[in-house]
Amino acid sequence: MKSNSTQNVILNPETLPPHVAIIMDGNGRWAKKKMMNRIKGHKQGSQIVRSIVTACRELGIDTLTLYAFSTENWARPELEVKALMMLLKKFIVSEREELSKHNIRLNIIGQKYKLPLDVQKEVEATMELTKDNNKMLLNLALSYGSREEITTAVKQIAEKIESKDLDSNDVTQDLISDHLYTKAMPDPDLIIRTGGEYRLSNFLLWQAAYSEIYICDTLWPDFTKNEFIKILKNYQERDRRFGKVACSTSNDG
């Protein structure tokens, strides 16, 4: 059996999670520990994004979703928000050819219209360039909030019912999923949060219904490919039952 290994950690390529989502937390705390401003932490964090995207591509993970900027992040200091948008624009431009070269498609989930116009322009250019790529999907969650996403979906469905394009009996879980930013995508199999906080922070709340969750204390700028692979190994050792239990004997009930 073909295997991928790092420091004696052997992964089974047949049971890798098709969709990994990451809450990249800890940039600010990393910078504070090093007596730097928060922007330095975000800059270092952007370097880690490159390494993890590369790792996913090399391992054969189909979809990677990164929580890059939440709807709540707009309330941060104006200077920090501007710096984050600048780093985002730089990343989108600098990685454009690499994404194309390695057959990776870029997609944005969230309120793209709220991004600065120059950022929107570069995002659209990269999405257009990579739209036919099919080796891997990279989702960046930008101005994303799960409650906003679900609320928007409910409004869209309500409007269709009001206009008689839908009947209330047509509303199913699949229909709701088809009105989310992640329509036509599989739900995340594994959600990783760095930085040690035990919460989802308004991230993929509908889609995470049966996701495996892994919390690590490592701050995002210190996150490595080796740690990522160990987390994938932990995922492969879990028993995913999706609420079901296989009875082994008549006494199991």
The catalytic residue positions are: 25, 73
DSSP assignment letter at 163 = T
Query: Which sign does the torsion angle of CA 217, 39, 86, 117 carry?
Result: positive
Beta bridge partners of 104: 136
Taking phi over 0 as left and psi of -120 to 50 as alpha, with beta for the rest, 26 belongs to left
Listed in sequence order, the DSSP H helices in 3-115 are 27-33, 38-59, 78-94, 96-101
Residue 175 and residue 5: Cα distance in Å, rounded? 40
Spatial separation of the C-alpha atoms in residues 170 and 154, rounded to whole Å: 13
Would you call 131 helix, strand, or coil by DSSP? coil
SS3 content of the chain, % helix, strand, coil (to 5): 45, 15, 35
Non-local CB neighbours of 128 within 8 Å, separated by 6+ positions: none
